[in-house]
Amino acid sequence: MRMGVLGSGLAAQTISARLAELGYDVMIGTRDPEKLKGWQSSNQRVKIGSFAETAPHGEMVFNATNGAASLNALMMAGEANLNGKILVDVSNPLGFSNGFPPPLKVFGTDSLAEQIQRAFPFTKVVKTLNTVNARVMVYPQEVAEGDHHIFISADDPDAKAQVTELLRSFGWINIFDLGDLSTARGTEAYLLLWVRLYGAMNTSMINVKIMK
């Protein structure tokens, strides 16, 4: 299966490398291919392309771009190149112009995931992995031996099921189905707490476990 990963930051690099490790045909999309040349030297199985090249390459596509610029990046990827495909949105709409902690640019009555779905109505948007750091996204067993939860939100049940299967291949044991895509408002808002936990605990290798 071919995978496309949009973005050139740590999350995009980490997801791309893990997908290649699992045997997928992976292309990472970036505005600046030169930025990834050094990284690619140790990840030679991952191809580098533009956004507009990476979106058609992937049978499933990850949005790992900066949340504040995600809509623009996806427009550059091309609506026709995303139509009918699953788009796994791992981004968060954080604004860093005023330093740390960053505020959310979308909050409360909307979410970035829903904005993406409205802009790309024929794409199957699935929100997940945005509540942990890049390493934990794809190696969850490195925190508490995997005994913690990741959340998933989507309107399309088949898309959700396919992404759930992929999450299990990453090593996720506990996958909490929150419901439709509007529930992404909660997981994106959770980042306000996550950054405080990161500051208080002095590590990003953290996550939560749901108990009752």
What digits encode the pLDDT tens for the residues 26-66?
Answer: 999 999 988 898 999 999 999 999 999 999 999 999 999 99
C-alpha span between 26 and 36 (Å, rounded)? 14
Q: How many alpha carbons lie under 13 Å from residue 147 in its C-beta half-sphere?
A: 3
Domain membership of residue 210 (yes or no) is no
Domain membership of residue 208 (yes or no) is no
pTM metric for this prediction: 0.95
Q: Are 61 and 85 in contact (CB under 8 A)?
A: yes
Cα torsion 150, 154, 157, 161: sign: negative
- What is the arithmetic mean of pLDDT over 71-88? 98
Tell me the CATH number at 80. Answer: 3.40.50.720
Question: By three-state DSSP, how is residue 52 classified?
Answer: helix
In 4-156, alpha helices (H): 10-21, 37-40, 51-57, 70-77, 79-82, 112-119, 134-138
* Enclosing domain of residue 14: 2-201
Report CA dihedral (118, 129, 111, 63) to the nearest 10 degrees: -40
What digits encode the pLDDT tens for the residues 153-196?
Answer: 999 999 999 999 999 999 999 999 999 999 999 999 999 999 99
Mean of the per-residue pLDDT values of the chain: 95
- The residue assigned the tokens 């788009």 is 87
Reported confidence tier of residue 97, pLDDT bands at 50, 70, 90: low
Q: Are 113 and 181 in contact (CB under 8 A)?
A: yes
Q: How many domains does the chain have?
A: 1
Whether pLDDT at 101 is above 80: no
